[in-house]
Amino acid sequence: MAEQDIEDLDSFRHRLRSWLRQNMPPADPRLAPYHQLSDEEELAQVTNHRELQRRLYDGGFAGIIFPSEYGGAGLTPAHQEVLNEEIVGYEYPARFQVPTFSPCAAVIYEFGTEEQKRNHLPRIMRGEEIWMQFLSEPGGGSDVAGAQTTAVRDGDEWVLNGSKIWTTGAWWSDWGLCLARTNWDVPKHRGLSVFMLRIHQPGIDVHRIEMLNGSREFCQEFLTDLRIPDTDRIGEIDGGWTVGTRWMYHEKSLGISHYFIRPAGSMRGVNPWAPTPLAVARQAGRLDDPVARQLVGEAHALKLAGQEGSIRISRGIAAKRLNDQAAGMSRILTGLINTQLATINLKLAGASAVAWDSGDQMLGEMGVEFLMRQVRQISGGTIEMSRNAVSERLLGMPREARRDNDVAFREVPRSAPGR
Amino acid sequence: MKLDLTPEQAFFAGTTRQFLDDKVPTSLLRELRSDPAGFGRDFWRQGADLGWTSLLVPEADGGGSVSGQGLSDLALVAFEFGRYAAPGPLTAANLVTAAVARTGTAQQKAGLLPSLMTGDQIGSWAYAEPRPFERLGAVGLRATREDGRYVLSGHKAPVEAASQADLFLVTALLVAEGDEDGGLIQFLVPAGTPGVSVHPMRTLDVTRRFGHVVFDDAPVPASAVLGEPGTAEADVERQLRIAVVIQLAEMSGAMDRGLELTTEWLFNRYSFGRPLASYQALKHRFADMRVWLEAAHAMADAAAQHVQEESGQAGEYVSAGKSFLGTYALEVLQECVQFHGGIGVTFEHDLHLYLRRATVDAQLYGTVADHRERLTAILEATDG
């Protein structure tokens, strides 16, 4: 689309604002955090989000920066930012954003064949396909290129065997983007390929994992003689790490990406419904406690620093002042800040964080959230991976020694079987 | 520092950078530690020629900015001041010119602004007070109206460049007809006014000086009042925000330079046959430091922008910026010291110059604790 044909931001904002008012329901601030939903409620919410995604599509507001031939709106990152601002206060198809739009749709858009793109992207925009990442494996979390799930060619098909883990909501999702090993006799990064697979089919067993906060959101899948057509391979055979590198970039960029809706003022890794430290202090009856007031101020300053810092990093990458590896900076920043916020909330909630009555449920959740604190530095690739990337590939410091380059993957030392 | 500078802003910042590079090498800063003033008048006048003292004064009053956003331009200068731990009363001078330009009478503006902007006269804001008025916002200095004039009684400290200043902007509590709280009032009081005495203090920064200014029933004429008597709260708040914006830019500059020195050190210093930059224990910590620096830049810029635009969130961003940089600029600079080892705590190394500057900025115009309390009060007020 020629630049002069693109709707200007003010007109877009105006049109979007009135459309939202007429078509999208207001956000429900009483909506419980996800892990408290029963399975029935969760499925109902997924169905609702599919419907909301469809509404966005019908209104011309789905996939803002995806080209219109793939069902997107064909607009710019600046339009996405307008949408992020205007959608605050409305319910939106939150379950479609990550990882469906990014990394999955972004990867399909960058590496898919024309047919693959025309097949899947419009379905995603219309709310018909929810995607998950079949990436991490029980044998290694952050070292995703060490995938051991194996795909063996058989005529026009591939036969997959192995196990993937930490897929969010695989039990109600439709498709998975899967990184698999297609060659064990070449070095690690040169024997991988990427496949698209339907999650609910014979050959895939989905198990739900219970987290320590009671969430059963994460899944582990067991792939047993799963057959998929070669037409569902994305990118070159054994060229999967070319795809994987961009895939990882999208994953690390979630805090600054324009591929999906991230309501303004929200930060990656933070439940937008989570009570603010001010609300926690108020519930705990400690707003007249100078120590609590210090913590509330400290937390708010950190939150703003996380937001403003992420915006600056994002602009730095867009302006090429920082290279792509700077996405790791935003991951480190939000990881460091969000863990501190969880600790502050624990302090504010006091004794009620560990022993509470139903009237103080909010304070009890702060205790549970504290137990889950390190998720903010683990999920989406551990913070240590980002520290390596930033120090080595942004700042140019010497790389760590490794024992998996220039040797057939078959020969590389590996973890013992098990998680 | 701001990313999307206009060409004029980039040139302006570059000119200040080049000037500081020429005029204040760190060897000179070390010599200036025993200089009572900490800076030379000629140096200050030359800086004033570059625009340091006139950015917050409208063109109509003889000032002018580079971008039309004077405070944003001043933040560029302050950033360089942090990077060079530069001498000179940048904050003090600009607070006074800004206040006079904003609320001064035509006579006050005409009488004071020209010499303040050329650097021939130096102004300073006498705001903070010693215990028991140490907390941000507490004012104990009393201005009593008597026979068409005011009598000032109280104690201000620390006052920047107190011994060098020719003019004090004094924030006082108006006491009118037995009313103990008649609101805030500000005065422009020349140094040397009878009843006003100045006593230097010992200070942490190598070039920045502070002192006591004591008002011992000092009489000042009604013509010395700046603005409307008893209604100076908003002016004082604006001055405070400008002061913090300058501090934030300066702290981010000090941090920036500290990380630059540490980067060079990590690549050039070898131990056990390897550069320090090859140790993962240090690489990971340095990655975090680099990230905090980026957030510090972002918060300093955001605060400058909100105050420049007088947005509804200006107070929030000022206090959040102070809470954040007051903590992380110091932590990151101390990490820089740690990475340097013993040399990092010597006087001969440059690192302490930036640590000193950032520490001084962190503690004045409200501590981290003061600003966290303000932030909570702001949140309560806006939370319905």
- Sequence spans of domains, chain B: 7-90+101-120, 125-226, 233-382
**Residues A212 and A274 placed together within one structural domain of the fold:** no
Q: What's domain B233-382's architecture?
A: Up-down Bundle (1.20)
Given this model, what pLDDT does residue A31 score? Answer: 57
Given this model, what pLDDT does residue A264 score? Answer: 84
Q: Determine, for residues B297 and A312 on separate chains, whether the beta-carbon distance falls below 8 Å.
A: yes
Q: How far is B232 from chain A (nearest CA, A)?
A: 26
Record the tokens describing residue A227, joined without a space: 């057959």
Given this model, what pLDDT does residue A404 score? Answer: 84
Beta strands at B184-190 and B142-146: parallel, antiparallel or unpaired: unpaired
Most B CBs within 10 Å, among A311, A329, A397, to test the B interface: A397
Chain A partners of B290 at a C-beta cutoff of 8 Å?
329, 390, 394-395
Residue in this structure with the two tokens 């021939």, named with its chain if needed: B120
Domains contained in chain A, number: 2
Domain that holds residue A151: 133-243
B376: nearest Cα among A80, A24, A282, A89: A282
A59: nearest Cα among A100, A109, A18: A18
**Residues A270 and A361 placed together within one structural domain of the fold:** yes
Given this model, what pLDDT does residue B82 score? Answer: 98
The Cα-based distances of A104 to A192, A197, B307 in angstroms read 17, 12, 41
Q: Who's near B128: CB < 8 A, 6+ residues apart?
A: B134, B156, B157, B158, B159, B364, B365
CATH class held by domain B125-226: mainly beta
**Residues A286 and A229 placed together within one structural domain of the fold:** no
In tens, the pLDDT along A156-202 reads 999 999 999 999 889 999 999 999 999 999 999 999 999 999 999 99
Q: Residues B37, B43, B47, CA angle at the centre, nearest 5°?
A: 120
Instruction: List residues in chain A touching B: CB distance below 8 A.
Output: 276, 278, 287, 290, 293-294, 296-298, 300-302, 304-306, 308-309, 311-313, 315-316, 319, 321, 328-329, 332-333, 336, 384, 386-388, 390-392, 394-395, 397-398, 400
Q: Determine, for residues B295 and A321 on separate chains, whether the beta-carbon distance falls below 8 Å.
A: no
Among chain B residues, CA nearest to A315: B3
Q: Is B301 on the interface with A (CB under 8 A)?
A: yes
Of A276, A313, A395, nearest to B294 by CB-CB distance is A313
* ipTM score assigned to the predicted complex: 0.95
Among chain B residues, CA nearest to A290: B373
Of B317, B328, B369, nearest to A294 by CB-CB distance is B369
Q: Which residues pair with B214 in a beta bridge?
A: B155, B197
Q: Which residues of B235-258 are buried (b: 16+ CB within 10 A; e: fewer)?
A: bbebbbbbbbbbbbbbbbbbbbbb
Reported as a pLDDT band with limits 50, 70 and 90, residue A316 is very high
Q: Determine, for residues B291 and A300 on separate chains, whether the beta-carbon distance falls below 8 Å.
A: no
The Cα-based distances of B312 to A293, A306, A308, B306, B325 in angstroms read 22, 20, 17, 8, 21
Q: Which residues pair with B274 in a beta bridge?
A: B271
Residue A32 in this model has a pLDDT that exceeds 60: no
Given this model, what pLDDT does residue A417 score? Answer: 62
Q: Determine, for residues A304 and B319 on separate chains, whether the beta-carbon distance falls below 8 Å.
A: no
**Residues A294 and A216 placed together within one structural domain of the fold:** no
Chain A partners of B324 at a C-beta cutoff of 8 Å?
301-302, 304-305
Chain A partners of B384 at a C-beta cutoff of 8 Å?
none
Report the CATH number at residue A350: 1.20.140
The Cα-based distances of A413 to A149, A410, B85, B321 in angstroms read 16, 8, 52, 48
In tens, the pLDDT along A82-108 reads 999 999 989 999 898 999 999 999 999
The answer to whether residue A285 is domain-embedded is yes
Q: How far is B25 from chain A (nearest CA, A)?
A: 27
Rg (CA), chain A: 22
**Residues A275 and A326 placed together within one structural domain of the fold:** yes
Of A180, A211, A243, the residue that ends a domain is: A243
The answer to whether residue A229 is domain-embedded is yes
The answer to whether residue A72 is domain-embedded is no
Q: How far is B10 from chain A (nearest CA, A)?
A: 15
Rg (CA), chain B: 21
Q: Is B321 on the interface with A (CB under 8 A)?
A: yes
Chain B partners of A304 at a C-beta cutoff of 8 Å?
299, 302, 316-317, 320, 324
Q: Is B320 on the interface with A (CB under 8 A)?
A: yes
Q: Determine, for residues A387 and B284 on separate chains, whether the beta-carbon distance falls below 8 Å.
A: yes
B212: Cα separation from own chain's centroid = 17
Given this model, what pLDDT does residue A37 score? Answer: 80
Residue A271 in this model has a pLDDT that exceeds 70: no
- Answer yes or no: are the C-beta atoms of A333 and B293 closer than 8 Å: no
CA A225/CA A204 separation, integer angstroms = 9
Residue A268 in this model has a pLDDT that exceeds 60: no
- Answer yes or no: are the C-beta atoms of B142 and B152 closer than 8 Å: yes
Residue A267 in this model has a pLDDT that exceeds 70: no
How long, in residues, is chain A? 419
Among chain B residues, CA nearest to A401: B278
Most A CBs within 10 Å, among B248, B367, B379, B380, to test the A interface: B379
What would the 3-class secondary structure string for chain B be?
A: CCCCCCHHHHHHHHHHHHHHHHHCCHHHHHHHCCCCCCCCHHHHHHHHHCCCCCCCCCHHHCCCCCCCCHHHHHHHHHHHHHHHCCCCCHHHHHHHHHHHHHHCCHHHHHHHHHHHHHCCCCEEEECCCCCCCCCCCCCCCEEEEECCEEEEEEEEEEEECCCCCCEEEEEEEEEECCECCCCEEEEEEECCCCCEEEEECCCCCCCCCEEEEEEEEEEEEHHHEECCCCCCHHHHHHHHHHHHHHHHHHHHHHHHHHHHHHHHHHHHCEECCEEHHHCHHHHHHHHHHHHHHHHHHHHHHHHHHHHHCCCCCHHHHHHHHHHHHHHHHHHHHHHHHHHHHHHHHCCCCCHHHHHHHHHHHHHCCCCHHHHHHHHHHHHHHHCC
Of B3, B280, B372, nearest to A297 by CB-CB distance is B372
Report the CATH number at residue A180: 2.40.110.10
Q: How far is A159 from chain B (nearest CA, A)?
A: 40
Q: How far is A366 from chain B (nearest CA, A)?
A: 20
Q: Who's near A418: CB < 8 A, 6+ residues apart?
A: A138
Is the pLDDT higher at A196 or at A249?
A196
Q: What is the largest CA-CA distance in chain A?
A: 72
The answer to whether residue A44 is domain-embedded is no
Given this model, what pLDDT does residue A1 score? Answer: 44
**Residues A225 and A283 placed together within one structural domain of the fold:** no
**Residues A211 and A272 placed together within one structural domain of the fold:** no
- Answer yes or no: are the C-beta atoms of B355 and B337 closer than 8 Å: yes
CA B269/CA B342 separation, integer angstroms = 13
Q: Determine, for residues A312 and B277 on separate chains, whether the beta-carbon distance falls below 8 Å.
A: no
Q: Is B373 on the interface with A (CB under 8 A)?
A: yes
CA B297/CA B284 separation, integer angstroms = 20
Tell me the count of A-B CB pairs closer than 8 A: 132
Q: Determine, for residues B287 and A386 on separate chains, whether the beta-carbon distance falls below 8 Å.
A: yes
Chain B partners of A323 at a C-beta cutoff of 8 Å?
none
Among chain A residues, CA nearest to B259: A395
Given this model, what pLDDT does residue A266 score? Answer: 67
Instruction: Please determine, looking at this structure, whether the domain spanning B7-90+101-120 carries the CATH number 3.40.50.970.
Output: no
Q: Determine, for residues A301 and B290 on separate chains, whether the beta-carbon distance falls below 8 Å.
A: no
The answer to whether residue A152 is domain-embedded is yes
Q: Is B277 on the interface with A (CB under 8 A)?
A: yes
Q: Which residues of A205-243 are buried (b: 16+ CB within 10 A; e: fewer)?
A: ebeeeeeebebebbbbbbbeebebeeebbbbeebbbbeb
Which segments in chain B show pLDDT lower than 50? none
Q: Is B371 on the interface with A (CB under 8 A)?
A: yes
